[in-house]
Chains A and B, each alone.
Chain A
Amino acid sequence: MDLARLVELNATYARVIDTDQLEEWPKLFLDPCLYKLTTAENVAKGHEAGLIYADTRGMLEDRVSSLRKVNIYEGQRYRHVVGLPVVLGETNGTADVETPFLLVRVMRDGTTDLFATGVYRDKVKPDASGALRFAERVVVCDGRRFDTLVAIPF
């Protein structure tokens, strides 16, 4: 799989979240899909649970609309710094890709903290139009601690 296109997909992903275009976020996934937010510890122990677990694009859309209309949280945004993807393998046009990330949370008053680090473990393939999309994105955080709340997806 073309590395430049994977980099572009990751850059677009980070940008739609960091610029608060959350409605664009589910569109980067196929349907059905898997988006899961978990920790390295849970993965190592074979524990399946996720802080966020979505297996349809509809569930991702519901995350966004719940954040927009339902949930209460103090204003905040993210700054993603996403590393270079490594293609670990490719089967029938679906690439197994691993990409490290660093996530900074900026609160409404400017308080800026390193919120999470980890690795995206992805299955990426082209959709009907040929654009690369996530069939799976499992966000594996290095630590198990999530300060106060996780409102915006990683």
Chain B
Amino acid sequence: MDIRHDVIGHEDLPGQTPHGPWPEDSLARVPYWVYRDEANYQREMRRLFEGATWNFVCLEADIPDKGDYRTNQVGAMPVIVVRDADGAINCFENRCAHRGALIAFDDGGNVKGNFKCVYHAWGYDLCGNLKGIAFEKGINGLGGMPPGFDRARFSPRKLRTTTLCGLVFATLSDDTPPIEDFIGAEVLGRLKRVLNRPIRVMGRFVQPLPNNWKLYVENVKDTYHASLLHTFLTTFRISRLTQGGGVLVSEDGGNHSSYTIGVAEGANAGAYKAQEIRTDQDGRFALADPSVLDSVEEFGDQIQLQILSVFPGFILQQIHNCLAVRHVVPRGVDRMDLVWTYFGFTDDSPEMNRRRLKQQNLVGPAGFISMEDGCVGGFVQRGTAAAGEHVSVIEMGGATAESQATRATEASVRGFWKAYRRHMGY
């Protein structure tokens, strides 16, 4: 029963952005208004998040039993994800069909029977069907809903859901391809590599960031910055651009996996020193307790570090033995939340659990190697305040979005813009 007045408008003309055509028609040039423009942001909510994409909504481990639910957001839309009596997982808009109030106003829990909106006590089953209307027949023959009112025509919007390796994704579009096809074979293989057995949640934190959501997604895909911004990575040879590795980009561009192989080069190797890069701190900094870096080979393939993203806002991280899922939640054109879920596996030994707890110091809002990511997005947001019609230059490693056997490239960032422009119709 939703008539979507908002989708009817001149701004949806094919090939036209709110600022005319995309500048220079290149994946390697991105106009700064894209991080600042309100009309563009609203179009992203409709065309990306509510469009033909799979959005991460929760972990299966969050809702193991019947009636277990979590709330989340798909773009701007609040959703409920719930396991029903048959063990299936359903996802529907967290909006009462009556007056639009949130049906569930907590983070999750377990519901016995049906969900009930607190405002006027309309009830919904675990599939999101409207099942009960308080005083539907009125009182003593007076009031009540009109005869012939058809409940079946009124429900919150339902999303298609799918599960993959313990992750739950949802989409509003019938056109979204199966998740395996959406991710693409190469990146899918790298996802399955990590999520190869039942997981165990170790903790959750939320990091509000003062920047457009895309700046964080770009940062995640940007293998070029990691060892330049994050001194810790380079100093302790966790990752250097000069070691083995590369970046896989899905065919449509939207998904990626970057990885490093083996150990980083020795202390005196020359590439960083020769360019006097700030992150080369050899000899100036040593850990009093190096146990934070005590890692073990876990996946049997010498890949020490893997960052993987699924368009538009899902990230899976393996940094040595520190594993996490990160979810990008847009909160406005210049704000977002990054939701961190640290995890291990149900069969972790006490030693592995302790190792993960220590290595969690590496990432998150207080992470030795990731705290800088919290502020650089804000630096770009502030730096480009008066530069709306100017463009950024994303040309490391060329102008295309193909997989490369190096991380001195911005191929996966360009991949993001390839997918973005397709979904946005730019």
- Given contacts A37-B366, A48-B357, A148-B375, is CB(A69)–CB(B202) below 8 Å? no
A49 part of interface (Cβ distance < 8 Å): yes
Q: Are B368 and A146 in contact (CB under 8 A)?
A: no
Interface assignment of A41: CB less than 8 Å from any CB of chain B: yes
Whether a CB of chain B sits under 8 angstroms from the CB of A21 is no
Do B203 and A148 touch across chains, with their CB atoms under 8 A apart?
A: no
Interface contact A70-B375, CB-CB below 8 Å: no
- Smallest CB–CB gap between B272 and chain A, Å? 14
> In the complex, are the beta carbons of A51 and B205 less than 8 A apart?
yes
Which parts of B282-299 form the interface with A (CB within 8 Å)?
A: 284-285, 287-289, 291-292
Chain A residue at minimal CB-CB distance from B207? A146
Q: Are A42 and B203 in contact (CB under 8 A)?
A: yes
Instruction: Tell me if A71 counts as interface (CB < 8 A to partner B).
Output: yes
**A73 nearest in chain B by CB position:** B375
Contact status of A56 and B289, CB under 8 A, knowing A69-B284, A147-B208: yes
Cross-interface CB contact of A49 among B209, B287, B360, cutoff 8 Å: B360
Q: Is the CB of B208 within 8 A of A148?
A: yes
Given contacts A47-B202, A146-B206, A147-B208, contact A59 B366 (CB under 8 A): no
Interface residue B229 (Cβ < 8 Å from any Cβ of A): yes
Interface residues on A, range: 35 or more
**A69/B229 contact (C-beta < 8 A), A41-B204, A49-B357 known:** no
Comparing A5-13, A60-68, A80-88, A120-128, the segment that makes contact with chain B is A60-68
Task: Determine if A149 and B365 form an interchain contact, defined as CB atoms under 8 angstroms apart.
Answer: yes
Interchain CB contact under 8 A, B232 and A66: yes
Q: Closest CB of chain B to A25's CB: distance in Å?
A: 13
Mark interface residues in B162-177 (1 if CB within 8 Å of A CB, else 0).
0000000000000000
Are the CB atoms of A48 and B202 closer together than 8 Å?
A: yes
By a CB distance below 8 angstroms, the chain A residues around B378 are 148
Interface of B with A (CB < 8 Å)? 107, 201-210, 229, 231-232, 235, 281, 284-285, 287-289, 291-292, 337, 342, 353, 357-358, 360-361, 364-366, 368, 371-372, 374-375, 378
Known: A50-B357, A72-B375, A148-B375. 7 other contacts (CB 8 A): A49-B357, A54-B361, A144-B206, A145-B207, A146-B206, A146-B366, A151-B366
